[in-house]
Amino acid sequence: MTVAVYIIVMAGVTYLIRMIPFTFFTKKIESKYVRSFLRYIPYAVLSAMTIPAIFTSTGNVMTSVVGTIVAVVLAFFDQPLIVVALSASLAAFLTGLIV
């Protein structure tokens, strides 16, 4: 019963978060500043959730740093996501074996 209540509350909160902007903002937002700000929110939230997890996922900061550096370099050179992810994981794993 408790799990069902949690799921219902979570569904309601999720629905409200998605519904409220449509209710209050009926006209198109004309301000370039506000539109620019809203455009970058998903990237900021994704970064805020991902970066701490990157540095705590392996249990060793050194392996996390090496994996992150490999991922950033490969992403900078426009490599496919699967190449970036697998290479960063392999780099972190090999660093863990060495350290």
d(CA 87, CA 61): 17
First to last CA, the chain: 48
H or E element that contains 66: helix 61-76
Query: Reduced to 3 states, what is the DSSP secondary structure of residue 26?
Result: coil
Q: Domain span at residue 92?
A: 2-98
pLDDT tens per residue, range 1-15: 789 999 999 999 999
pLDDT at 74: 97
What pTM did the predictor assign?
A: 0.62
- Distance, in Å, from the CA atom of 24 to the CA atom of 69, rounded to the nearest integer, reads 42
What tens digit of pLDDT does each residue of 67-87 get?
A: 999 999 999 999 999 999 999
Considering its fold, how many domains does the chain have in total?
1
Cα distance between residue 15 and residue 27, in whole Å: 21
